[in-house]
Amino acid sequence: MAQTQAYLSVHTQQAIAKAPEPHRLDEFVERQRYYCRQQQQNDKTRRVLEKAFGSQWAERYMTTVLFDMPT
């Protein structure tokens, strides 16, 4: 638990110290979209969810909750 707290403390401090980069917003959004597209095609994740909940539910969950595309 102490290691987790130390990690989160360092991460939080770095995030606070980092200056915003609004000029890179389009780049960040496109990278997030790419990540979501790749993860939505992840067969391993899809198979696990389909087996547990059915294919229709898995598709909806993966595209609207887990890997929802940024707008």
Rounded CA gap, 69 and 17, in Å?
Answer: 28
Question: Domain locations in the chain?
Answer: 24-71
Res. 46 pLDDT band, cuts 50 70 90: very high
Angstrom distance (rounded) from CA 14 to CA 36:
25
Report pLDDT digits (tens) over 8-41.
999 999 999 999 999 999 999 999 999 999 999 9
Amino acid at 13: Q
pLDDT at 71 over 90: no
Could you give the CA distance from residue 65 to residue 59 in angstroms, rounded to a whole number?
A: 10
Cα torsion 19, 22, 23, 25: sign: positive
pTM over 0.85: no
Counts of helices then strands in the chain (DSSP H, E): 4, 0
